[in-house]
Structure 1
């Protein structure tokens, strides 16, 4: 059913759960993962930057490479292709999904609410609304979530 699964990353610490979900889905379908990091240069274009715009862009690209390296390390035996693009994240994610003929998108959502959501918006929500392919959102947190081990089993609330 799925041959190519897109996993956009912002480099958040909580992306481990998102990548694990995508890897399980890819392994089940014998699919490859496409990792995407979007350099949102437009957000910073009006800031006064003493060291120069080129240095800021280079720093953002380095952050992207670090995020994509982390994604590659977490994919294990699943084939992965990574790319960095410039632009508005939600638009770039949907465009890449179309360009690379992806069958699904697995992405994190920070679950912001209230004023943060009003001011920052939700990339995941915009992707869900605009994507022509299925989108699975996985909650991320500020710290890495760990899967239960044999010693500690996951329990449903009683």
Structure 2
């Protein structure tokens, strides 16, 4: 195992996913790649949840956050850089992908020839899983690359 791809969302539990995936990679002396997929601009305009910061924004209820595509990419890179800094390893690579999350993760994993994909699973509602399905579940069903799933119930 030479490359570990760690897919992060903006959920507050992403720190646990990054730390656990990083520890796994280091036990195998593998390179680490952190990635995030920008999939739906509407998701990033919520006043209830600020995905870029990873916490609810209750102080500005009623205001809508609007990110341009360029601003969102800059914020996402900042998020990945902070995650990299938290892990304390300058050799970590970062990737920002766009598109449907599961497909983008699988595409990047194949492109970089990842040996394992690390993801968190934090489905909170059974109805969401039935109606929408989780990104982790979609990756699990489509991947030919080993998948390390970290339960993160927030």
Scaled by the length of structure 1, what TM-score is found?
A: 0.74
- Unaligned runs of 5+ residues in structure 1 are 48-53, 143-158
| Structure 2 CA distance for partners of 1:120 and 1:63, relative to 1, 3 Å | farther
Which runs of at least 4 in structure 1 moved beyond 4 Å after TM superposition?
none
Residue deviations 1:18-39 (CA, integer Å, cap 9, x gap)? 1121111111111111111111
Task: Report the more deviating stretch, 120-129 or 108-117.
Answer: 108-117
Quick one: which of 117, 120, 137 aligns to 1:105? 117
- 2:143 and 2:35 map into 1 onto residues whose CA distance is 15
- Structure showing greater radius of gyration is 1
Residue deviations 1:7-50 (CA, integer Å, cap 9, x gap)? 01112211121112111111111111111111114x64xx9xxx
| Structure 2 CA distance for partners of 1:121 and 1:67, relative to 1, 3 Å | farther
- 1:116 and 1:59 map into 2 onto residues whose CA distance is 29
Secondary structure of 2:6's partner? strand
Secondary structure of 2:105's partner? helix
Counterpart for residue 18 of structure 1: 17
- 1:38 and 1:23 map into 2 onto residues whose CA distance is 19
Counterpart for residue 39 of structure 2: 40
